[in-house]
Structure formats: structure tokens, C-alpha cells
Amino acid sequence: MTESGSAELKRRHRAMWALGDYPSVATEVISGLGRRLVEACRIGAGQHVLDIAAGSGNAAIPAAETGAEVVASDLTPELFEAGRRLAAERGVELRWQQADAEALPYADADFDAVISCVGVMFAPFHQAAADEMLRVTRPGGTIGLINWTPTGFIGQMFATMKPFAPPPPPGAQPPPLWGDETHVRSLLGDRVTDLELRRENAVIDRFADGAEFRDFFKSYYGPAVAVYKAIAAEPDRVAQLDRELTELAARHDLGDGRMEWEYLLVTARRS
């Protein structure tokens, strides 16, 4: 990809995540994931921590609450305002910085822990993002990720939306691949030790039924907003996607308005 093409891809990617209201998704739907990641990584006072693709701070703010010195980085700085408000409400301070996960503006071995909660998985070129994540982690430092799996609900949601979405750029890989154990092992290779890969479920009780889920995500979740925007002039396709997302959520309903969204929890030490 040319330099101009890469810049345009980043512009589009930033614009997609600025659509809707991702901070509402983070706080109303998946608020517990960030704290789960911080606990799994045993982040604590005195550590220098980087949260990649931090959004509005779902993991960065709980990390700061432990007493760690935290940098929350994201390609889409439009998400920072909500994060700053939430951090202020919780009485913590952290540094917010625009940064591309595939070209981080930090020195080698700069951080004691590098984490990402359903964030770095959306960088289009997985190996580049993994290489940068490893580069900025000190030897012996912690790497921690939570990634949606291909077989879980969010992975299936992306598979449902794929036929309605514009084609991805050449070489870009699907985000849920970061939730596949074999793929993660290949990205990290022998540059980590003590690698643990655990499948867990987030219990989601925000939506009464599939229609409420669909309406919330098509209004607030950037990737879904972008897909609907792309087909807005095709009412039949909009109606079809509406049906398919509603049916997907209904199939995952546990029977009492709750769903389980599978994710892969990754922890490792930098070699």
C-alpha cells in the first residue's frame, strides 16, 4: 500500500470509530471487560502502562485506579472527551494521546505493561500492530489483550455485516482473527513467554430483545453505523440487515434477556 493509500485508510478508520457513540457502548454494554483485563494483568501502583486503542478508557481508567501511570492511546481522539470526563468522575489522571497502533510514537521497551481491550484487534494489519505492541514492552513486561472471537457473538455479528459492507483494503485481516488462538500465537511467536489463552464470556444484560440490540448498535457502534451508512440508499438491503442482526441476537438470547459474548483473554510476558 502506498503512503497516500495508507493515510487514507487511517483517515477512514478514524472516521468510522468517530461515528455513533462508542463511549456509550463501552459504559453501557461492556463496562466490565476493562477491569477484567487489568486484574488478569495484575497491574498495580508504580507501573508504566500503555493502553492501545483505548477508546474512552474502558481499560485505561481501571488501570489508573490501581495507581499505575497510564497512557491511553487511540487513533480516534474524538473518543477522549468522554474518557476524560469519566476519569475525572473517578478521581484519576492519565495521559491521552492520539496514536496509530501500527506505528506507535513510543520508545522501545518503554512500558511495563501494554494492554488492549477489544481495541488493537481492529487495526487492519495484524502483524504490524503486534510488532509495535511487542516493541514498546520492556523485557519481562506484561502484554494483555481481550479480543472478540470469530465464533462468539461479536465475531458472528461481523460475519453477518460483511456482505453488506464495502470490501476491506488489500491485505487487511478480519478483526475477530485476534480471537483465534492459533492466529495470536503466530503473531507473537517466540517473542513472549508464559503465554496464556483463555476463552471467557461477557454476560450482557443491556438489551430486552434482538430488536433493541440491533437499534442500539446501528445507532452507536461505529462499524455498524458505517455499514448502514453504506447501504442507506438501498432500503431492501437495510431491511435484510435489520432482520439478520435481530435474528442473530435472538439466537444468542439465554432466555431471560441476557446474552453471552465470547472473548479470548490473552496474557504473556515479553521475552
Distance CA 109, CA 87 (A): 26
Hey, what CATH topology would domain 3-150+169-203+261-270 get? Answer: Rossmann fold (3.40.50)
Name residue 145's beta-bridge partners: 116, 266
Question: In this predicted model, what pLDDT tens digit does every residue of 184-232 receive, in sequence order?
Answer: 999 999 999 999 999 999 999 999 999 999 999 999 999 999 999 999 9
- Going from the C-alpha of 253 to that of each of 203, 207, 246, 264, the distances in angstroms are 11, 10, 11, 20
Q: Which residue has the cell 477484567?
A: 36
Residue 143, pLDDT score: 98
d(CA 148, CA 179): 5
- Whole-number pLDDT of residue 5: 60
- The grid coordinates listed for 266 are 490473552
Q: Which residues pair with 199 in a beta bridge?
A: 264
The pairing of strands 192-204 and 259-270 is: antiparallel
Instruction: Indicate the DSSP class of residue 103.
Output: B
What residue type is 113 in one-letter code?
Answer: A
Residue 211: what are its φ and ψ, rounded to 5°?
A: -65, -40
The SS3 call for residue 171 is: coil
Which residue stretches of the chain are H helix?
Answer: 3-18, 22-28, 31-40, 60-65, 80-90, 126-135, 153-161, 181-188, 210-220, 222-230, 235-252
What residues does 97 pair with on adjacent strands? 73
Beta carbons within 8 Å of 66's beta carbon, 6+ residues apart: 38, 43, 44, 45, 47
Residues sharing a CB contact under 8 Å with residue 57, sequence separation 6 or more, in sequence order: 26, 34, 51, 72, 83, 86, 87, 94
Provide long-range contacts, Cβ within 8 A and 24+ apart, for 82-86: 82/23, 82/56, 83/23, 83/54, 83/55, 83/56, 83/57, 86/23, 86/27, 86/56, 86/57, 86/61
The rounded radius of gyration (Å) of the Cα atoms in the chain is 18
Among 174, 187, 185, 165, which residue's Cα sits nearest to residue 232?
Answer: 165
For residue 3, what pLDDT is reported?
Answer: 55
pLDDT bucket at 6, cuts 50 / 70 / 90: confident
Percent of the chain at pLDDT above 90? Answer: 94
Using the structure block, give the residue that is written with the C-alpha cell 442482526.
245
Q: What is the mean pLDDT of the chain?
A: 96
pLDDT digits (tens, 9 = 90+) for 59-87: 999 999 999 999 999 999 999 999 999 99
| Amino acid (1-letter code) at residue 108 | D
The set of residues, in sequence order, having a beta carbon less than 8 Å from that of 211 and lying 6+ positions away, is 246
